[in-house]
Amino acid sequence: MIASHPLIELRQLHRYFGRTKAVCDVSFSVRRGGVFGFIGPNGAGKTTSMRILATLDLPTSGDALVDGFSVLEDPDRVRRRLGFMPDYFDTQANILVAEYLDFFARSYGLLGRERQQALRRVMSFTKLDALAEKPIDGLSKGMKQRLCLGRAMIHDPPVLILDEPAAGLDPRARIQLREMIGQLAADGKSILVSSHILTELAEMCDSVAIIEQGRLLAVGTVEEIQRARHSQRNVHLTVLSGAEALPEWLAARGAIHDVKVEGQSVEFLHDGDQHVEADILRDLVQAGFRVVAFGSRAKSLEDVFMQVTEGLVQ
């Protein structure tokens, strides 16, 4: 096996439930240390794909591989290499945080000192140390999410599959989650994380797949998807005086749209990259405009998402 194989790979994955094509010809891969966003509206097929990766369901056709091992041929090896965090917290028993994690550590065959070390590592990473002796029923949503993540990583797998981990979290818990995911990726874990809310993922993912009605609509780095969708960049600038002359000046350059003037501030869209913006700024100054502020941003992933998906649910 080649060392550089992707840690997660879907190969023409299909999963039908009767006539519902929950997953239809989905292929993508996640490299080591990558955070990959799986984005789509409810019912798009995210959970179904993730369950198959986690060996909790079987594909109708196609395959899913974890660290090079097929869920069809080597489910045991897949399970050992992967931690799955489902989109619900599934426990009836009201046991203590430490007992809960201890149970899962034992289920993964961790014994003695190895288990103690795993528990310490996970509780410290998820900041659950102080809650070790608390019953899990009394935990907040954010704490339960951390416990779920702790459970998914108790056997220190190289791959983590997180299904809608940010759902229902308050902003603070969401920031903590984002930090934890960033840290896991920096430690070399490969992470597949799903959401139906784009903004939750945009900042933490290097690559994304957009899925709708079981089909992939776009795959690539956030930048690639933005570029492929003819994304425009938005520039806003402020001058000390003479803003009223700017629409004409900008129009003469071409490839600039939607110029809006408000007082001495001007906003517009353009088709170029940041080099074009640097040129515009230089030319503005050379033309005698006294520029005091100049900023730009790429069209957000949210804009792209709205453009790509039609918001259909089957």
Ligand X SMILES: Nc1ncnc2c1ncn2[C@@H]1O[C@H](COP(=O)(O)OP(=O)(O)O)[C@@H](O)[C@H]1O
Residue 309 found at the interface with ligand X (CB under 6 A): no
Kindly state the smallest distance separating residue 294's Cβ from ligand X, in Å. Answer: 41
Question: 20 is in the binding site of which of Mg ion, ligand X, none (Cβ under 5 to 8 A by kind)?
Answer: ligand X
Among residues 6, 34, 37, 45, the one that binds ligand X under rule CB under 6 A: 45
Question: 92 is in the binding site of which of Mg ion, ligand X, none (Cβ under 5 to 8 A by kind)?
Answer: none
Kindly state the smallest distance separating residue 204's Cβ from ligand X, in Å. Answer: 19
Q: What is the DSSP string of 221-239?
A: EHHHHHHHTT--EEEEEEE
For residue 267, give every residue at least 6 positions away whose Cβ sits within 8 Å of its Cβ, in sequence order, or none.
Answer: 234, 235, 236, 237, 258, 259, 260
Q: x/- site string to ligand X, residues 23 to 42, per CB under 6 A?
A: -----------------x-x
| Identity of residue 283 | D
C-alpha torsion angle, residues 192, 197, 198, 204 (rounded to 10): -50
Integer CA distances (angstroms), 206 to 132, 135, 220, 280, in order: 34, 37, 9, 29
Q: Which of residues 119-148 bind ligand X (CB under 6 A)?
A: none
Return the range that interacts with ligand X (CB under 6 A); candidates 16-24, 112-120, 148-156, 249-257: 16-24
Question: 17 is in the binding site of which of Mg ion, ligand X, none (Cβ under 5 to 8 A by kind)?
Answer: ligand X
Cβ atoms < 10 Å from Cβ of 313: 10
Return the range that interacts with ligand X (CB under 6 A); candidates 14-22, 90-98, 107-115, 146-154: 14-22
Among residues 22, 52, 82, 173, the one that binds ligand X under rule CB under 6 A: 22
Integer CA distances (angstroms), 63 to 25, 160, 215, in order: 10, 18, 16
Residue 47 found at the interface with Mg ion (CB under 5 A): yes
Residue 48 found at the interface with ligand X (CB under 6 A): yes
Which of these, 66, 70, 73, 62, lies nearest to 21 by C-alpha position? 62
Nearest to ligand X of 12, 314 (CB atom): 314
The two three-digit tokens of residue 128, written as one number: 């659950």
For residues 146 and 36, give the distance between their C-alpha atoms in angstroms, rounded to a whole number. 20
Kindly state the smallest distance separating residue 179's Cβ from Mg ion, in Å. Answer: 24
Which of these, 179, 177, 111, lies nearest to 147 by C-alpha position? 177
Residue 314 found at the interface with ligand X (CB under 6 A): yes
The two three-digit tokens of residue 262, written as one number: 């408000």
Residue 60 found at the interface with ligand X (CB under 6 A): no
Question: 40 is in the binding site of which of ligand X, Mg ion, none (Cβ under 5 to 8 A by kind)?
Answer: ligand X
Kindly list the residues in this chain that would bind Mg ion in the complex (CB under 5 A): 46-47
Kindly list the residues in this chain that would bind ligand X in the complex (CB under 6 A): 17, 20, 22, 40, 42-48, 314
